[in-house]
A and B are shown apart, each in its own frame.
Chain A
């Protein structure tokens, strides 16, 4: 399939609906081990994104990703704003000004997003953050892209891996972010950032089919 500016924008609208739909779940997860605002923050950011896309949708996939980045940075707040903002900004830079993305470009964009998140938040796998979902997702995406997979296959593999990665955060003790202040008490809870990352990828995969 062709992954054009229009399809990326549509995927972002779908994400906005999913984030709003899961707002209470993210809120509950974040209340357990964070400051309880993740659901609200993400819903606000993606709702703001939709009104920007309604006003003027950029003409290239990279342009849409850049708009996502700047909107999330200024509207999401908390740690998620800078982290998702950086992720989409690096993805946009990696995509450049191609008119349409294939599986390889998508996998590269995901790799760039992960590197941005790690540079910004300094978290590693095992710290109980979105990195635990994004790292296996990128590995899966790259392996499918390397064997010639298209956008739908790449995103589907990434979403599967991200869900397993998010689930792997449950027993972990948080070493980054607000949850780390809880120490041992953060164990036994799903990390909200890892959850939202897997939600985003699953939604992208659903749109790409």
Chain B
């Protein structure tokens, strides 16, 4: 499984982002590295290097950063690291969440990195369902609807399936494998959504979403 490192000038910010992303991806190793190592704001080359080696279980690491010099420190640490490391220029919070969920779904290094980079919004690829489409109406009986954690459960449940899956709410449509796109629908508790899937695992994809909704997303 791909690991993540969150580099911030602020120790609290790094830990907070790691905590938030970790809530959505409990098995992913997310290591925060923040501050100058002496209690002040800044970044520490050594600390980032250690964080990278802690986060690497052998599959590789994606590194996110907050501001300018954090990128330079991350780049240097990545160049020195033993394993495969990608430093991504992505929005820190959204990027960490998107990358963590994608990593939890078992994706490889390029996919996890791409998930972080496209989390900025502009790069969201729309998904097309076509051919034989499996559809279902699903009621969100949990109180928060497709909020962060439920959205992460859906995206993770579908990540490994060979299917294009979209969720429609009102006029909006989202890639069901993208936690940020799902959250962006703003589907509240009590809402009805439509799930449409095509591809070899289409039926299984729809079944999984229905099952999660029936369990009220383990709320």
Contact = CB atoms under 8 A, between A and B. Distances in A.
Interface of A: 37, 73-74, 77-79, 81-83, 85-86, 120-121, 176-178
A82 B45 CA distance: 8
A82 B73 contact: yes
Contacts of B43: 77
B75 A78 contact: no
B123 to A, nearest CB: 21
A79 B69 contact: yes
Contacts of B76: 73, 82, 85-86, 120
B209 to A, nearest CB: 43
A86 B76 CA distance: 8
A78 B72 CA distance: 9
B78 to A, nearest CB: 12
B9 to A, nearest CB: 9
B69 A73 contact: no
A81 B45 contact: yes
Nearest to B69: A79
B36 interface: yes
Contacts of B45: 73-74, 81-82, 85
A178 B73 contact: no
Contact of B46 (A74, A79, A86): A74
A178 B72 contact: no
Contacts of B75: 82, 120
Nearest to B42: A77
Interface residues of B, number: 13
Interface of A is mostly: helix
A42 to B, nearest CB: 14
A161 to B, nearest CB: 25
Interface in B51-78: 67-69, 72-73, 75-76
B63 to A, nearest CB: 14
Contacts of A120: 72, 75-76
Interface string B117-161: 000000000000000000000000000000000000000000000
Contacts of B72: 79, 82-83, 120-121
Contacts of B104: none
A82 B43 CA distance: 10
Contacts of A74: 44-46
Nearest to A73: B45
B98 to A, nearest CB: 25
A73 B42 CA distance: 13
Given A77-B36, A81-B45, A121-B72, 7 more contacts: A73-B45, A77-B42, A82-B69, A82-B72, A120-B72, A120-B75, A177-B69
Among B42, B46, B69, max chain A CB count under 10 A is at B69
A82 to B, nearest CB: 4
A79 B42 CA distance: 9
Contacts of A176: 68
Interface in B70-103: 72-73, 75-76
A70 to B, nearest CB: 9
A77 B44 contact: yes
Nearest to A180: B68
Contact of B68 (A37, A81, A178): A178
A121 B71 CA distance: 9
Interface in B32-50: 36, 42-46
